[in-house]
Structure 1
């Protein structure tokens, strides 16, 4: 069972269908006319809910949630099984987007340092994301030492068990990559 939650940005629906769905091509009927168009089938284990924020004078006045794919029972089970949240929200991705804008000036709002080329934008996004995971210690991931103080700094990659130390940017850039495919 996979739970996905987003805000009401409508292109997410198509992106989720393409990413997780199965394209069903209908066979020709043998009759005259155009053949039926293929469509995306949603996997039964996919649960997708949307958070809709209503604004009044630039402030949030109402928040609604809507189940797009899946069943109410599946949604309840997914939220119950979640280790990080018991309601539909977008706080994790919003926090990541805030961090991304903070670390990547090309994504700032109302700025002159916008990306002029899509490829450059994508490369900077990957650089920001992966260097964050290996080279940036996160306060909420710190471990307590024996005296009960939060002093052992950790990166997201350390918390996931991918590395044992905070990397420098130079070390991270110089590390040889191996393609495993």
Structure 2
């Protein structure tokens, strides 16, 4: 829900809710940055999901802050354990693609099979991050354009998919298992479960910093708290990152133990 809705439901002030979001968001980002290391993943799918901060790009004026406009969250998922080992909030450009892939590569312990869509920045970013030590496939999709104006709900529905093709970029990937379906489905869950990501929303992030905190919190809950129906445990448990199922209270408590005390917290050992 949005910040104002949270204030109405809880009776807390807006400053209190925003401070809690910032404290917990930082703690979630710090914990996952430390915990997601030496992962034994065999396959990874990557994609990016659109949102906006402050205003959509078409409505941004010179008087708006530089952070206003379209915002993209890069995501990665292990199709086997459903773990989302890393993400990056930024814009859809080469710099963010390179940073995202470098972060992903640093968290994996062995060679993986990687699949992305056909966005032009990915191949160079993957080569720079993995240095050729990856089995990499690109899924190219063609959509049917509709130049005529569309009204009603069709305006916000995806374009019609015409064709798909798979191209081997590096290594020897198993093309039968090369897909972006899982990461695209996880992005749908992200959009449906977070009010800030809804396409037609009045609860969009007003600051990039708050948007990043909200994403950190979402991925922490997804990885450590929620039981995934396909693996019957949390994704972090399935991937061996932790051996216990976390609660929302555990996450909130992290805000009090970040910094020097964070490493000695009970959950840090898991």
Aligned to 2:167: 66
Q: Superposition pairs for residues 98-177 of structure 1, below 5 Å?
A: 98-142=188-232, 154-175=233-254, 176=257, 177=262
CA–CA separation in structure 2 for the residues paired with 1:15 and 1:67: 15
Residue 10 (structure 1) aligns with: 120
Q: CA deviation at 1:17?
A: 4.5
Question: TM-score, normalized by length of structure 2?
Answer: 0.44
Superposition RMSD in Å: 2.6
* Per-residue deviation, residues 42-61 of structure 1 (Å, max 9, x unmatched): x2323332111112252112
- Structure 2 counterparts to residues 69-80 of structure 1, below 5 A: 70=170, 74-75=171-172, 78-79=173-174
User: Which position in structure 2 is the counterpart of 1:44?
Assistant: 132
8 A Cα contact 1:5 1:89, kept in partner: yes
Matched residue of 1:52: which SS? strand
What CA deviation, in whole Å up to 9, does each residue of 1:75-117 have, x standing for no partner?
A: 2xx32xxxxx833210121122122212222122232322232
Q: Which residue of 2 aligns with 1:88?
A: 178
Bigger Rg over Cα: 1
Q: Comparing both structures, which one devotes a greater share of its residues to helix?
A: 2
Query: Which residues of structure 1 form unaligned runs of 5+?
Result: 22-42, 80-84, 143-153
Write out aligned runs for 1:22-37 (5 A): none
Equivalent residue number for residue 39 of structure 1: none
* Residues 58-67 or 124-133, more deviating: 58-67
Contact in 2 for aligned 1:134/1:172 (Cα 8 Å) = no
| Cα separation, partners in 2 of 1:157 and 1:104, compared to 1, 3 Å | same
Distance between the aligned counterparts of 2:185 and 2:161, measured in 1? 18
Q: Comparing both chains, which one has the higher relative contact order based on Cα–Cα distances under 8 Å and sequence gaps of 6 or more?
A: 2
What runs of 5+ residues in structure 2 fail to find an aligned partner?
1-110, 147-158
Structure 1 CA distance for aligned equivalents of residues 248 and 134 of structure 2: 37
Q: 1:15 to 1:126 in 2, by over 3 A?
A: farther
The match for 2:70 is none
